[in-house]
């Protein structure tokens, strides 16, 4: 009799624990995903392979690294179509519709704690439109060379020139 009671108590406890975890994960998902509303905002990739996987890749651009003695691996500059995440997952891609600036400059660059890249504010004026760090284009043509700075700890100089 006691053994059956023990199994019932353990089964009830496991079921209650499972139910609590399910409720908390649902709440976390709701407030995390739906709280940020990522599907409302324009998105971009940070990797050329991700851009190709999402079918937004347009073309790769040329680049040259100047005045930098360090090493940068696997850098790629490219133009891609702007997009949104879907309403249910950031893995799903929805095309950007109705924008005057459907294209954007993106680059593959793996930031480290000591090195990053940042477009110059003066360079962002070369685009048809921009926000603080990304340039947007009416057509998939980069009309002028764009310069981005290499920034970070103990970095005194270094630029990347990007052109078509």
Write out pLDDT tens, residues 4-38. 777 888 888 889 888 888 888 877 766 766 777 88
74 & 10 share domain? no
Contact residues for 80 (Cβ-Cβ < 8 A; gap 6+): 44, 45, 51, 56, 57, 58, 103, 104, 106
What is the pTM assigned to this prediction?
0.77
Under-50 pLDDT residues of the chain: none
Q: Is the dihedral of CA 112, 132, 157, 144 positive or negative?
A: positive
27 & 59 share domain? no
51 & 31 share domain? no
Range of the domain at 31: 1-36
7 & 30 share domain? yes
115 & 99 share domain? yes
74 & 141 share domain? yes
Counting the structural domains of the chain, the total is: 2
């Amino acid at each position: 009799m006691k053994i059956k009671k023990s199994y019932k108590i353990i089964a009830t406890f496991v079921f209650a624990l499972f139910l609590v975890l399910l409720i908390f994960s649902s709440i976390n998902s709701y407030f995390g995903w739906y709280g940020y509303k990522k599907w409302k905002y324009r998105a971009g990739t940070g990797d050329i392979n991700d851009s190709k996987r999402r079918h937004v890749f347009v073309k790769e651009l040329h680049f040259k690294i100047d005045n930098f003695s360090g090493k940068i691996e696997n850098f790629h500059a490219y133009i891609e179509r702007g997009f949104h995440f879907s309403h249910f997952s950031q893995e799903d891609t929805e095309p950007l519709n109705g924008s005057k600036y459907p294209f954007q400059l993106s680059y593959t660059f793996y930031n480290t704690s000591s090195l990053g890249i940042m477009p110059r504010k003066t360079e962002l004026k070369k685009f048809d439109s921009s926000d603080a760090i990304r340039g947007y284009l009416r057509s998939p043509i980069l009309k002028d060379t764009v310069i981005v700075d290499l920034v970070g700890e103990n970095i005194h100089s270094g630029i990347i020139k990007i052109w078509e």
